[in-house]
Amino acid sequence: MRSRLVATLGAGLLLAAAVLVPASPAAAAPTFKVPFPCGQSRSGQTRTNHSPAYAVDFNRTDDQGDPVVASAPGTVDVVADLGGTSYGKYVRINHGSGYTTYYAHLSGFNTAVGRTVGHGTVIGYVGTTGGSTGPHLHYEQRLNGSDIQVRFNGTLALYWGTRSYTSDNGCSGGGTGSGTVNTAGSPLTVRSGPGTGYSSVGTVADGAGVTIHCQTTGTTVTGTYGTSNIWDRIGTGRFISDAYVLTGYDGFIPGVPRC
């Protein structure tokens, strides 16, 4: 009888210990920001019949082709085109600890799978691809695959209805920008300074992604994206003409310092 009681008490204590062990704390969410460049205001709509329910649709007048930026640092793990259905052209960013964001109905991409992005990095452009009836950005935040209510700077979005959101994404100085070289085939010459009169210090391949540490003015160049006197520093003593770089902006990139 005593051994049966001891065994029963031992089993009970083990069960109690299993029940009383505290769960691991949930990982803190990234600081998500509005997925548009610094200072832009958008109408953000949530509705109960949306799929998934907690997604936000952003738009403003004549926004076709406007740049869409990463709402938090992370790694791009999906760049896909579903054609005329569902998300159409979309990007997914993995922010770690189970958090991901989705950017859908894009007209085009400015990123690639495996690329590291930060606040304000242009990843694509507003469009109306997939199951869309007009230009807008379909945006989601997910945790472990399930959609969650969207928060910007820790503040809950409006559920349900429409609200104006103003972006502070990439506003702070000292950041970096990103771009994609487009020369229609030829390598782009890298100069030791911001102008064609500086010595060549190498080349960058057409289609290559570059990190822009700062921007300055120099020799005026006519390239793929028009005529510009802006030069992008992509490394120590390494400059390329912005006229050949797709950054999502006509002019200087918000948040990127001047050299």
- Distance separating alpha carbons of residues 148 and 178, to the nearest angstrom: 29
The Cα–Cα gap between 173 and 239 comes to: 20
Average pLDDT of span 88-92: 98
Cβ atoms of 147 and 87 closer than 8 Å = no
Instruction: For residue 173, name the pLDDT band (cuts at 50, 70, 90).
Output: low
In Å, how far are 188, 208, 216, 238 from 201, measured between CA atoms?
11, 17, 18, 7
For tokens 């085939």, the residue is 185
Burial class (CB in 10 A: 0-12, 13-18, 19+), 134: exposed
Amino acid at 101: T
At residue 171, what are phi and psi to the nearest 5 degrees?
-75, -35
Spatial separation of the C-alpha atoms in residues 32 and 189, rounded to whole Å: 37
Percent pLDDT > 70 in the chain is 88
pTM of the full structure:
0.62
More confident residue, 44 or 153: 44
**178: pLDDT strictly greater than 90:** no
With left for phi above 0 and alpha for psi between -120 and 50, is residue 137 left, alpha or beta? beta
Reported as a pLDDT band with limits 50, 70 and 90, residue 257 is confident
Q: Which helix (H) or strand (E) holds 13?
A: helix 2-20
